[in-house]
Structure 1
Amino acid sequence: MAEPKPEPVKSIFEEPKKVIQKASEPIAKTNSGSKFSIKAALEKKEEIEKDKFSEVKDENLPSNHFSQTDIDREWGIFLKNIAKTNTLAYNAINTFKLEKSDEYQITVKYSSETAKGEFDKLSPEFFNHFKHKVNNFKIEIEYQTDLSIKKEVMTKRKIFEKFVEINPLLKDLDDLMRFDLT
């Protein structure tokens, strides 16, 4: 008779073999492309801008008189505070002009859409403070583009060209001396 084969001795350090199951379909989802639409986002933004300050319209809200001087004073204080805390926003909005155009209306004149975007982030803070300061909660805000308030960066070359307009001999001097106006 044949002797049965002895079973190999199992060590306590060997791990039992595990059966790995494979998925029949990919587990990760496929990328179906972007669902973001620029056109839809722009239309939604315009709707939000219309409703931004049209809060509760109640006839019982206080509506005290305010003047252009009040606007200028509070705008100056606001700009000083922003200059200390957020210089990027300050540089974008410091050229804005706020004018009282009607008894309950303030016109904000801005130079570019980018600057207006920065102002939109800060405007609720300013107008909320202003409404409480003058005790007038019926104030409406109107925006206008005004390219005349845009600040031009004056380089040495631009300053020199302005002087050349006044005195054309400076151009000859520049040709002779080759000024470094960079």
Structure 2
Amino acid sequence: MVRNTDDLPREAFNETDMRLQWNKFAQRLSDSGQKILSTYMQMNDPVLDGTTIRLELPNEGSKVDFDSGKHELLGYLRGKLHNHDITIEVHVNEVTSSKHAFTPLEKFEKLKSINPAVETLRKMFDLDI
């Protein structure tokens, strides 16, 4: 039997409802040993835009892994939230947030950014960089 898509539920829901069901599904995956997909789901908070859920992942490999398992998640969310218009979009953000320090000066500046008292110690003991 083929269902008419106009007959499928389209109840309103909010971001809180969506995140609650999202986290329940992630926990269910984790409990059943599907830790990778569960981890991807919990890396960043999903954002709701209408009926589209947007998720940001760190690289293309994680997107491919997530996309291969998202159909079960989509079915779960559509059922629990009673809305069959829900879609999931994955955005890859490969921006690296940390720069590695290599020279002694770069290492010192990195330490100083973490704890400004390092500069006081350097001056107190008349240390070279």
TM-score range, shorter chain: 0.5 to 0.7
Post-superposition, which runs of at least 4 consecutive aligned residues in structure 1 deviate over 4 A? 160-163
Gaps of 5+ in 2: 99-107
Q: Which residue is 1:105 aligned to?
A: 52
2:15 alignment partner, one of 68, 72, 79: 68
2:87 maps to 1:143: no
More helix by share: 2
Cα pair 2:74 2:87 within 8 Å, conserved:
no
Query: Paired residue for 2:101?
Result: none
SS at match of 2:72: helix
Q: Output the aligned Cα RMSD.
A: 3.2
Aligned residue type for 2:35? T
Identify the structure with bigger relative contact order (alpha carbons < 8 Å, sequence gap 6+).
Answer: 2
Using structure 1 for the length normalisation, give the TM-score.
0.49
Sort the Cα spacing of 1:106 and 1:89 in 2 relative to 1 into closer, same or farther, 3 A.
closer
Separation (CA, whole Å) in 1 of partners of 2:109 and 2:4: 55
Specify every segment of 5 or more residues in structure 1 that has no aligned partner in the other structure, as ranges: 1-55, 153-159, 177-182
Bigger radius of gyration among the two: 1
**TM-score normalized by structure 2?**
0.65
Q: Distance in 2 between matches of 1:146 and 1:110?
A: 6
Q: Name the structure 2 match of 1:88.
A: 36
**Number of residue pairs matched?**
110
* 1:40-69 superposed Cα distances (whole Å, 9 cap, x missing partner): xxxxxxxxxxxxxxxx87222210001100
1:123 aligns with 2:70: yes
- For the 8 Å contact 2:18–2:81, the answer to whether it is kept is no
Give a deviation string over 1:1-43, Cα, whole Å, max 9, x none.
Answer: xxxxxxxxxxxxxxxxxxxxxxxxxxxxxxxxxxxxxxxxxxx
AA aligned to 2:18 is I
